[in-house]
Structure 1
Amino acid sequence: MEAINVEEYYKNAHALLKGHFLLSSGNHSDTYLQSAKVLENPKNAEILAQALANQIKESKIQVDCICAPALGGILAGYELARALGVRFIFTERVEGKMNLRRGFEVAKNEKVLICEDIITTGGSALESAQCIQEKGGIIVAYAGLANRGFCKRVNGNTTKKPECKLPDDIPLFALEDFIFNMYEPNDCPLCKSGSHAIKPGSRGN
């Protein structure tokens, strides 16, 4: 299987941003991956999702359905479902809790893969997984176009960090690891220099 240079896709889409960013986790970083800029080109979305689907197919894991946490995971999740030939649903946050809405249902013991655009600590993906499990579904894998390096992906070179919230017994598939600086807000050198963190992601912008 031919390797894909995911970093080049982000750079070409001007989606590998440098600055001072507030992440969904509440931490700060000097680098941000804006997947929406990459996925606004349907051809990019198709190519990246197909590469991710190839990894999953090689693993021989059976997947009946892809579920993505809204809003960030929807485009990546939909394209991955299309590449795997399975149905697609998404969870969304209602009063702070992930829920299935819009008539989406999960069959008992249905095998579900949770897909994000970027896996950082895996918090949102885990919330979606818990929602699916409450409906009777079985989580067989997690996936993302890119992995921030806190969680260990299949065939990756990083080790799992304490910040990772994903379980050890369920595989994580991603195309590439991106290791960037990340700081707690009360110990952020960018803040100490007088810079103000901005939120370019799907929540709070």
Structure 2
Amino acid sequence: MTTTQALPRSEEDVLREFRNSGALLEGHFKLSSGKHSGHYLQCARVLMNPARAERLAKAVVAGVPSEIVDNIDVVVSPAMGGIIIGQEVARVLGKDAMFLERPEGTFHLRRGFALEPGARVLMVEDVVTTGLSSREAIAAVEREGGEVIAECALIDRSVGSVDLGVPFYPLAAFDFPTYDEDSIPEALASVPITKPGSRKN
């Protein structure tokens, strides 16, 4: 017998989902953005339980204004991190899900995916820090003939400072400090570096 759990609404609710799944990591991480941090949110781990992934996706969609939801034709995510949450968000919306890949360094659609000309796209990410991957993915959608009308994400590590060029609706924002290569605190620099993201740095 399954029980229906309440959707995570507050940032503490979302952080609890990460803690409970062992997805809030501590150490020294080089993020996909190139910045360094003592914390890493491993979204693949928090999403590995299908019921939790569904719950988080429903919470993400609940934060997107209805006027945007009503105009979405298709969901697109950047690989690898955005694939699972993108699929789950698409399921909630009743839309198809596609993902972008960059085997040669530039995002594009593969595997037979194609956008209808003028398709209105919801971009879905797992974590946004500097927004670089998101902006590259949005540009790729434009090259593929679609239009990104908004982006949503599980986590905004920029805490509202990122500019993606489209409306952005994260489920939660966490202010874990990040550091450039030349400004890493001594205590963090003494810890061996882990590169958990999918971007090749």
TM above 0.5, yes or no, is yes
Within a 5 Å distance, the mapping from 1:76-91 to structure 2 comes to 76-91=85-100
Between 29-38 and 193-202, report the one with greater CA deviation. 193-202
Deviation digits for residues 66-109 of structure 1, max 9, x if unmatched?
Answer: 10000000000000000011111000003111111111111111
Counterpart of 1:139 (choices 148, 153, 161) is 148
Distance 1:60-1:9 versus aligned 2 partners, 3 A rule = same
Amino acid aligned to 2:91? R
Shift of 1:15: 0.8
Among residues 8, 16, 35, which one is paired with 1:27 in the alignment?
Answer: 35
The one-letter amino acid of 1:166's match is L
Q: List structure 1 runs of 4+ shifted beyond 4 angstroms.
A: 190-193
Q: Which residue of 1 aligns with 2:122?
A: 113
Map 1:1-205 onto structure 2 (within 5 A): 3-4=9-10, 5-56=13-64, 58-61=65-68, 62-150=71-159, 152=160, 160=161, 164-167=162-165, 170-190=166-186, 193-203=189-199
> What is the CA distance between 1:191 and its match in structure 2?
6.8
Counterpart in 2 of 1:155?
none
Would the alpha carbon gap of residues 108 and 19 (structure 1) be closer, same or farther in structure 2, given more than 3 Å must change? same
Percent sequence identity over aligned pairs:
41
For residue 194 of structure 1, what is the amino acid of its counterpart?
A: S
Work out whether residues 81 and 198 of structure 2, in 8 Å CA contact, stay in contact via their aligned partners in 1. Answer: yes
**Pair 14,192 (structure 1): closer, same or farther in 2 beyond 3 Å:** closer
Moved more, 75-84 or 188-197: 188-197
**Gaps in structure 2 of 5+ consecutive residues:** 1-5
5+ long unaligned stretches in structure 1: 153-159
Higher relative contact order structure (alpha carbons within 8 Å, sequence separation ≥ 6): 2
Instruction: Please give the TM-score of this superposition, normalised by the length of structure 1.
Output: 0.87
- Structure 1 residues 191 and 203, CA gap change in structure 2 (3 angstroms): farther
Q: Which string of whole-angstrom CA distances, capped at 9 and with x for unpartnered residues, describes residues 38-72 of structure 1?
A: 0000001000001111222x431111111000000
Does structure 2 retain, via aligned residues, the 8 Å contact 1:116–1:143? yes
